[in-house]
Amino acid sequence: MKYLFILFIAIISLKVSAQQKQFPLDDRGKFIYYEVVDVKTTSKDSLMMRANTFLNSYKKSIVKESSTDTSIIAKGKMIIDKTILVAGHPSGEVNYNLNFEARDKKYRFWLTDFEYIPYQRDRYGNYVASTKIGTVLEQTPGKLNAGEWKDILESAYNKTNKLAEGFKKALATNSTDKQKTKVNTVSTKKW
């Protein structure tokens, strides 16, 4: 009975670990996060305006490289955290390329060219990049670092998914309506 229970736990843990979400590969063999979204009532111009507003709100982590009237190309980075029990610290950053294309009533975006740059502490106790050269996420590590690399891939996928959900939410809502609302001012001259 004891061995049957241990076998049952082992099978359950293998099924749970096998269901981990991973990046699909594109035709170049690189990890990619790709989505096409249909919006029924939004024009191309308003989609581009909303995408620019979203990218401007993330100035520290996403830098726009080029844009046309239908597309935007940007580079960004995500900080990967390492948590041990309660305390956590950044273990590295993942750099990526963001491409966005808009048409009338639909748009698509994809994140690709993921590179991991590990962090280390400097002499002041701050976490800084240990090198300028990144390791592509498609590269499989050796046996010693396989567990840590798996955690990095999982964290990168989760952060990418969260960024994509925020991007879709920003493109679905009209941010200019929020700016047009009139704020009531209080005059101290009339009493």
pLDDT tops 90 at residue 69: no
Which 3 state secondary structure label does DSSP give 149? helix
Cα angle 41-68-102, degrees, rounded to a multiple of 5:
25
pLDDT tops 80 at residue 150: yes
pLDDT tops 60 at residue 16: no
Question: pLDDT over 90 for what percent of the chain?
Answer: 16
Q: Among the listed ranges 3-7, 14-18, 125-129, 157-161, which one has the minimum average pLDDT value?
A: 14-18
Structural tokens at position 173: 């809502």
- Helix and strand element counts for the chain (H, E): 4, 7
What is the per-residue pLDDT across 34-66, written as a single tens digit (0 to 9) for each?
A: 988 888 888 888 888 888 888 888 888 888 888
R_g of the chain computed on alpha carbons: 22
| pTM reported for the whole predicted model | 0.75
Q: Per-domain residue ranges for the chain?
A: 22-171
pLDDT tops 80 at residue 15: no
Q: Is the dihedral of CA 156, 160, 166, 167 positive or negative?
A: positive
Q: Is the dihedral of CA 77, 83, 89, 91 positive or negative?
A: negative
Strand partners, 95: 77, 115
Mean pLDDT of 142-159: 85
Which 3 state secondary structure label does DSSP give 45? helix
161 Cβ neighbours under 8 A, 6+ residues apart: 21, 33
Class of domain 22-171: alpha beta
Please, are residues 121 and 148 in contact by the beta-carbon 8 Å criterion? no
pLDDT tops 90 at residue 187: no
Separation of alpha carbons 62 and 74, rounded Å: 7
Separation of alpha carbons 87 and 89, rounded Å: 7
Separation of alpha carbons 47 and 37, rounded Å: 11
pLDDT tops 70 at residue 76: yes
Please, are residues 112 and 32 in contact by the beta-carbon 8 Å criterion? yes
pLDDT tier, 9 (very low <50, low <70, confident <90, very high otherwise): low
Cα angle 136-52-31, degrees, rounded to a multiple of 5:
20
pLDDT value for 99? 93
59 against 4, higher pLDDT: 59
